[in-house]
Amino acid sequence: MTGAGERYHLVGIGGIGMSGLASVLLAKGARVSGSDLAENREVRGLRRAGAEVHVGHDPRLVTGDLDGVIVSSAIDGENAEVMAARTQGIPIVRRLDAVARLLRGHRSIGVAGTHGKTTTSAMVATILRGASRSPSFLIGAHCPGLGGNAHLGSGEWFVAEIDESDGLLVSVDADVAVLTNMGCDHLQTYRDFPAIQRAFRQYVGRAKQAVLSIDDPNVARLAEMLDNPLTVGIEPCAMLRATNLTHERFHTAFDLLARGRRITRVNLPAPGRHNVRNALCALGAAMLAGIDLGDAARALEGFTLPHRRFELLEENGVTVVDDYAHLPEEIEATLNAIRSGWPDRRIVAVFQPHRFSRTQRLGREFGKAFTLAHSVIVTSIYPACEPPLPGVTSRTIVDAVGRETSAEVHSISDKARAIDHLKRTIVPGDFIISFGAGDIWTVTEELACFLEAGNFVTA
């Protein structure tokens, strides 16, 4: 997939991963068209860059001069454009397979894992750019510090976030494979957790070198099966290790040790132990790419978290943050980061469960995840194109939080009513955070606007 002179049509082009891929193909000289169901920022940006983007799916958009039709994992095989490509014998390529082909033309760093892969990918790209390596990158969220989520650089390295949701990561051949952790998710693709483990093991096994975060016990067991992986973590046995952690609001600092030798003090503009682990993965990948660890650590000081990753919306006597976390371990880690950086604040969490299938499988596990919250609002489930499942509601999570924690728990299905509740009940010093992969960010965004307009007096 060289791009120059080729023509590709992308079905679902407005998604964050598909739009990034489209922009890289455009930069490589390909002609790009695509379709999606609605206008958004990504669609408008691609049009400005020269892509022909249509709203709505239409089989007439698929013509015989195409070199390929690239399909989002959110698109099923009955889509009209996919069926038109099949009828005409045009190659149909899934998004991650297209990414895998792109990576073969570069030296590549692939970042995979159940949690943290977006942030870690952004950290790696930040380090390589800071070291004047002009990297290319494809990341699953807008990254303010990088000017977007995708870029074709002039250097040899390509950094790509490798998503496991559709199982296609097993076809990726990375020069450096990073694995942040392994957890139970995407059970619509995998039969069970052992199947997820096998997929991650196959992904790592295809790489020339591996960076494994062994604070995760599942990754630690995988490390024991491999020849000479670079292990990273806070655990004492990690080859690349963080010690002497300190937390101060949105910043974390730690001493970086390589095989027991202190390298430098790292000042990371991101909160929490989970981001220290992400940073260690990024530092390890940079080291394998030939970057001096001291230089890499200094480059990280200029890092900015991606969109919806602990994103500060307002600080006006009340702190308002939005976060993409939607799995129990992610929520627990983020609440731990708040408690470490803001030890005396009352924490109010607003959670929108994501997918009926995920709630059915993991609903009861969310209880203890909210242990550090003082108040928890749980909304209705964001379906993400899934049909409802009989008997599956957010009530399972409400009951689990009430059973496992001492937090006040409020079941408020409607986002507008959740906003009204927050406006009535917030007090000076509150730390309010929204959690979810759907549209829960609209709640904290409206609350931030309310606070910014001076409607709430904290004195």
CA-closest candidate to residue 331, choices 315, 310, 307: 310
Instruction: Tell me what the mean pLDDT of segment 386-406 comes to.
Output: 95
Q: For position 76, what pLDDT does the model report?
A: 84
Categorize the per-residue pLDDT at 187 as very low, low, confident or very high, splitting at 50, 70 and 90: low
pLDDT cut 90: percent of the chain above it:
88
DSSP state of 1: -
pLDDT at 457 over 70: no
Q: For position 179, what pLDDT does the model report?
A: 97
pLDDT digits (tens, 9 = 90+) for 216-250: 999 999 999 998 999 999 999 999 999 999 999 99
Reduce the DSSP state of residue 350 to 3 states and report it.
Answer: strand
Q: For position 459, what pLDDT does the model report?
A: 41
CA-closest candidate to residue 103, choices 41, 21, 218: 21
Reduce the DSSP state of residue 53 to 3 states and report it.
Answer: strand
Q: What value does the mean pLDDT of the chain take?
A: 93
Q: For position 1, what pLDDT does the model report?
A: 62
Structure tokens at 387: 């049909």
Asked whether 10 and 70 are in contact (CB, 8 A), the reply is: yes
CA-closest candidate to residue 150, choices 215, 101, 114, 102: 102
Which of 66-80, 97-111, 187-201, 411-425 is predicted least confidently? 187-201
CA-closest candidate to residue 329, choices 289, 271, 368: 368
Instruction: Tell me what the mean pLDDT of segment 183-198 comes to.
Output: 80
pLDDT at 396 over 60: yes
Distance between CA atoms of 366 and 441, rounded to whole angstroms? 19
Asked whether 107 and 151 are in contact (CB, 8 A), the reply is: no
Domains, the chain, ordered by start:
7-95 (3.40.50.720), 106-300 (3.40.1190.10), 311-452 (3.90.190.20)
Instruction: Tell me what the mean pLDDT of segment 93-101 comes to.
Output: 93
pLDDT digits (tens, 9 = 90+) for 15-45: 999 999 999 999 999 999 999 998 898 999 9
Categorize the per-residue pLDDT at 74 as very low, low, confident or very high, splitting at 50, 70 and 90: confident
Structure tokens at 131: 């070291």
pLDDT at 190 over 80: no
Q: Sign of dihedral through CA atoms 128, 154, 164, 305?
A: positive
Q: For position 283, what pLDDT does the model report?
A: 98
Selected residue with higher pLDDT from 458 and 85: 85
Q: For position 2, what pLDDT does the model report?
A: 63
Q: How far apart are the first and last CA of the chain?
A: 60
Categorize the per-residue pLDDT at 458 as very low, low, confident or very high, splitting at 50, 70 and 90: very low
Distance between CA atoms of 410 and 408, rounded to whole angstroms? 7
Instruction: Please give the torsion angle defined by the CA atoms of residues 62, 64, 65 and 70, in that order, rounded to the nearest 10 degrees.
Output: 40
Q: For position 192, what pLDDT does the model report?
A: 86
Instruction: List residues with catalytic annotation.
Output: 117-118, 161
Instruction: Tell me what the mean pLDDT of segment 147-167 comes to.
Output: 93
Concatenating the DSSP letter of every residue in 182-199 gives: --S--TTT-SSHHHHHHH
Asked whether 429 and 345 are in contact (CB, 8 A), the reply is: yes
Q: For position 394, what pLDDT does the model report?
A: 96
pLDDT digits (tens, 9 = 90+) for 247-278: 999 999 999 999 999 999 999 999 999 999 99
